[in-house]
Amino acid sequence: MPSRRPALLAIASAIAAAALLASPAVAVAAPPEYTPGADGAGDPYFPLAGNGGTDIVHYHLDLDYTPAPPDPAPIEGRLDGVATIDLVPTQDLSRFNLDLRGLTATEVTVAGKAATFTQTSNELVITPSKKVKAGKAAQVVVRYGGTTTRPTDIEGALYGWVTTRDGAMVVSEPDGSATWFPVNDHPTDKATFSFEITVPEGLVAVANGLPSRPATTADGRTTWYWDAPDPMAAYLATASVGDYVVNQYVAANGTPIFDAVDPARLGAPSESLALTSDMLVFFESLYGPYPFGSYGAIVDDDSVGYALETQTRSFFSRTAREGTVAHELAHQWMGDEVSPFRWADIWLNEGWATYSQWMWTEHRGGQTAQASFDDYLSIPADDEEWELVVADPGPLGLFLNPVYDRGAATLHALRVRIGDEAFFDLAKQWVERYGGGTASTADFIALAEEVSGAELGDFFDIWLYTPEKPTDW
């Protein structure tokens, strides 16, 4: 469900007809213009992420997975999948792409008919046997599979379908979903998801949303069923597999919680997770109603190193410190419900999540948000902290410290500038207006000016676009 759909191309035949009338010398009408869908969504940071010409509405992922065997065998698993994808073409398509990396497609159908296909390193290129018309919903089924390893992102950090000896941790920001299913891997095409994940008996497969029926076991393998009905950016999907202990309850705001915790991690992480209910109530008071139908955490023993705000089911590796638990929960509003229009807009995710941590700490009687801001601003002006343009950090700078801390400081400075009433009104309207879709830095600046009535161009230039320490704003 893209938030900004390209206009439909529906005038080709009308133009051909007009040309015929105008010049009787032309004997044959031009054929209708069926063209290939683009190989990317148009994001300059990740040119091949996402695709053009299709709007994906729903993914049903039927996955069969076996983790890596014990040491000293290589850490390689086996994944076989059938992806059933409901999409609506946004142009008349002669062919179209899905993103798929490191796995092999073996069979593709479009609207029930066998399609031909080829693969490059990141693209599955599908040529339907019958051309596909704009606006006419079609179901695409892709059978695929292969050996799973431990993929890394552009910075060398583990992400995507990360194979372990007791399962898999599945955390795909920004463009790692293509390592585990055929996908339009860009936040501008949100879709609903459902999952059927079959794993060796004794392991638990945890995805987004809630179980849609009880797990079933046959011949030593268990199938877990999940339904995630809230539209979701592909990087927020998960299907993590482990030796988890499950804890289900209802939070104080009424949200059903499903936590899955590695048995080796039932100590301190569980104490932080127990604050989830209070945190939901606190963030609802700041940002409006929790946007999704469920929440919960996955705490995995393995070491991807950091946490991810997987939609409705935040992922934590090893530790789940209180600040991180608050950070990933706040992302559900800021990042998940409202997602970046382009990856350059990442400070809107990380700045809000970090500022939410500052506010949670103050709420708990710890350091005030103002004190966190003052601490940050005590970094000397010649420190490289101030050298990043946070609203355009580059693909290698997406998760650098200033995106988080200068992003948070920007929001605090804005709050002081426009006052609490306008600031929290802005936060709520941001979620209300752009929820379910994506928004950009320009959208944020425009809404901040609209809500506050202030002229904020210079303010945001200094905070977001100038690679120097702000001194006067």
Q: Which is nearer to ligand TRP, 299 or 304 (CB)?
A: 304
Task: Report the partner that residue 159 touches, choosing among Zn ion, ligand TRP, none (CB closer than 5 to 8 A by kind).
Answer: ligand TRP
Binding marks (x or -) toward Zn ion, 228..247, rule CB under 5 A? Answer: --------------------
Nearest distance from residue 173's CB to ligand TRP, in Å? 4
Task: Report the partner that residue 308 touches, choosing among ligand TRP, Zn ion, none (CB closer than 5 to 8 A by kind).
Answer: ligand TRP
Q: Which is nearer to ligand TRP, 61 or 325 (CB)?
A: 325
Q: Which is nearer to ligand TRP, 227 or 302 (CB)?
A: 302
Nearest distance from residue 247's CB to ligand TRP, in Å? 22
What is the total count of residues that contact Zn ion (CB under 5 A)? Answer: 2
Rounded Cα gap, residues 458 and 95, in angstroms = 46
151 token code pair: 């993929």
Contacting range for Zn ion; rule: CB under 5 A; set: 49-57, 86-94, 298-306, 347-355: 347-355
Instruction: Give the pairing of strands 191-200 and 54-66.
Output: parallel
Contacting range for Zn ion; rule: CB under 5 A; set: 147-155, 237-245, 270-278, 342-350: 342-350
First to last CA, the chain: 38
Looking only at residues 268 through 297 of this chain, which bind Zn ion when binding is defined by CB under 5 A?
none
Nearest distance from residue 411's CB to Zn ion, in Å? 14
Q: Which is nearer to Zn ion, 66 or 310 (CB)?
A: 310
Rounded Cα gap, residues 24 and 59, in angstroms = 49
Rounded Cα gap, residues 275 and 180, in angstroms = 32
Rounded Cα gap, residues 172 and 194, in angstroms = 17
**Residue 117 contacts by C-beta under 8 Å, 6 or more apart in sequence?**
105, 108, 124, 125, 126, 127
Using CB under 5 A as the binding rule, whether residue 353 contacts Zn ion is answered as yes
- Nearest Cα to Cα of residue 324 among 404, 234, 441: 404
Q: Which is nearer to ligand TRP, 34 or 306 (CB)?
A: 306
Rounded Cα gap, residues 106 and 120, in angstroms = 14
Q: Which is nearer to ligand TRP, 339 or 452 (CB)?
A: 339
**Site of interaction with ligand TRP (CB under 6 A):** 159, 171, 173, 304, 306-309, 327-328, 350, 399
Nearest distance from residue 328's CB to Zn ion, in Å? 7
Strand partners, 248: 258
CB 438 within 8 A of CB 43: no
Four-CA torsion 316, 202, 66, 62, nearest 10 degrees: -80
Nearest distance from residue 25's CB to ligand TRP, in Å? 60
Task: Report the partner that residue 326 touches, choosing among Zn ion, ligand TRP, none (CB closer than 5 to 8 A by kind).
Answer: none
Rounded Cα gap, residues 138 and 135, in angstroms = 9
Q: Which is nearer to ligand TRP, 40 or 407 (CB)?
A: 407
Rounded Cα gap, residues 414 and 430, in angstroms = 14
Four-CA torsion 257, 1, 308, 69, nearest 10 degrees: 90
Binding site for Zn ion (CB under 5 A): 350, 353
